[in-house]
Amino acid sequence: MNICVIGCGYVGITCAVCFSRLGYRVVGLDNDPGKVKLLQQKKPPIYEQYLEEFLVQDGGNLSFTYDPSVLAEAEVVFITVPTPVSIEGNWDLSYLESAAHSISEHISGHTLIVNKCTAPVGTTEKVGQWITEAGVSPSEFEVLSNPEFLRQSTAILDFLHPYRIIIGGHSQEQRERLRHIFSPIINQDFPSPIPECSWQISTPVPTLLTTPRTAEMIKYASNAFLATKISYINEVGNICREYGVDVNEVARGMGLDSRISPSFLEAGVGFGGSCLPKDTRALIGMGKTVGYQPKLLEAVLEVNREQPLKMVKLAESRVGDLAHKKVAVLGAAFKAGTDDTRESVAFTVVDELLTKKALPVIYDPMALEKVRQRFGDTIIYAGSAREAIIQCDCVLITTAWEEFRDTTLYDGKVVIDGRSTLSGIDSIEYERIC
């Protein structure tokens, strides 16, 4: 079967390399020639575990191009382009519209079009409408929604061994067609390319066949719920702090209840990335569009806005006025295991430090190039955690990279830990954010 994946970002590349591993012939299509060139040389344009090996060992059935005419060969097209949402909660579907335009110009023969983008309820129908309006007969294609739930840093593992698959189509026949494409994953019926994988998932993978609108809402409701869990535990943590109670211990106790579960209960500096903030804003926007004020979700974002600022306040309370003082910021990626800095809380911390006229000294093992693009020469860059720390009296830990757990790095320093990275050290002045 010939598959084309439009958009070779974090989701698209993962989808392309995994489907090619399952034996499908896959072409990744992206309109960024620089990215395509790297991929053609089997060099990953992003950092993600296993990606480089998967690109190198592609079995000869994976290719990349920026020429949309390849769509003519595709029996199935996955769309994985950006769907940004403004701070005010307004979504931008122009990338999807342009992908739909390419599809309408080039598809030939009956084509299954699968929208993997996180987009407001009704978008999958809209994709179909754009293609029809461009002159393609509805009998030539069908559009389904298949929201993606992979997590950056474990994207390939998540794609091949998911907790669930959601398929939104207008008819049972359409849904079954897409289910068939996922059947090796649903039945876990392939030699694991990652032998050390110890993922605990049920087989067959739970698969929900539903309407496109329900599938779209499941994705938003899931991400906004995870964001809510984080802001909830951060709020509890802020209260715990004042009572001298360890919020991590509280979270452990809560997580023992299977109705609550321990995941996403790590109190700290808050959530960032390209999904949780954006998707929560979009759900708020969707509520407002129909005249509903989503008070709980607005509070989730409000708590999250304040957490990074608390870190800087704590630093001030320990070392006094920060003006002209160097402050080490460890971590720029929104989480460990990725080079992605989209909506990273580390950036909010750096912005706040600059407002206080401090001199941030930043280190990240994977994301420094992206920090440079954002901050230029307004901040100082370090080549290692040690190099950053040595210059500063105060250290802020904003991403939980494994190398930051080395307690010998911090002798004699004030450390404000936004990710519960350290424990059991008394040679330093150490505080967790909550």
Ligand X SMILES: NC(=O)c1ccc[n+]([C@@H]2O[C@H](COP(=O)([O-])OP(=O)(O)OC[C@H]3O[C@@H](n4cnc5c(N)ncnc54)[C@H](O)[C@@H]3O)[C@@H](O)[C@H]2O)c1
Binding residues for ligand X, rule: CB under 6 A, are 6-12, 29-32, 35, 80-83, 95, 98-99, 116-118, 148, 150, 152, 274-275
Residue 271 or 430: which CB sits closer to ligand X? Answer: 271
Which residue, 248 or 341, has its beta carbon nearer to ligand X? 341
Judged by phi (left if over 0) then psi (alpha if -120 to 50, else beta), residue 343 lies in: left
| Strand blocks (E) in 290-354 | 326-330
Indicate the residue whose CB is closest to ligand X.
9
DSSP state of 109: S
Contact criterion met (CB below 8 Å) for 314 and 237: no
Of 279 and 364, the one with the shorter C-beta distance to ligand X is: 279
Cβ–Cβ < 8 Å for 135, 102: no
Considering the complex, what minimum distance in angstroms separates the CB of residue 98 from ligand X?
Answer: 4
**Cβ–Cβ under 8 Å, residues 322 and 289:** no
Query: Any idea what DSSP says for residue 411?
Result: T
Minimum distance from residue 328 beta carbon to ligand X (Å): 28
- Least Å distance, CB 332 to ligand X, is 17
How close are the terminal C-alpha atoms of the chain, in Å? Answer: 52
Dist. CA 39–CA 304, nearest whole Å: 36
Coil, strand or helix: which one is 317?
helix
18 in catalytic set: no
What is the SS3 assignment for 264? Answer: coil
CA distance 22 to 410: 46
Residue 205 Cβ vs ligand X, minimum distance, rounded to whole Å: 17
C-beta of 282: minimal distance to ligand X in Å?
A: 9
Catalytic residue among 275, 392, 394, 434: 275
Q: Which is nearer to ligand X, 39 or 395 (CB)?
A: 39
Backbone φ and ψ of 378, nearest 5° = -80, -10
Minimum CB separation from ligand X for residue 166, in Å?
Answer: 12
Closer CB to ligand X, 300 or 385, in the complex: 300
Helix (H) or strand (E) segment spanning residue 125: helix 123-133
Which residue from 362, 205, 343, 273 is spatially nearest to 264, judged by alpha carbons?
Answer: 273
User: Closer to ligand X at the Cβ: 220 or 410?
Assistant: 220
Distance CA 171, CA 144 (A): 10
Q: Minimum CB separation from ligand X for residue 219, in Å?
A: 7
Structure token digits, residue 129:
């409408």
The dihedral through the CA atoms of 147, 86, 131, 65 has a sign that is negative
**Shortest distance in whole angstroms from residue 319 CB to ligand X:** 36
Sheet order of strands, 111-115 included: 62-65, 25-29, 2-6, 76-79, 111-115, 141-145, 165-168, 207-210
* Cβ proximity to ligand X, 133 vs 406, nearer residue: 133
Token pair in block for residue 373 = 């693009």
Q: Tokens representing 328?
A: 């080490």
Q: 3-class DSSP state for residue 332?
A: coil
What residues are labeled active site? Answer: 275
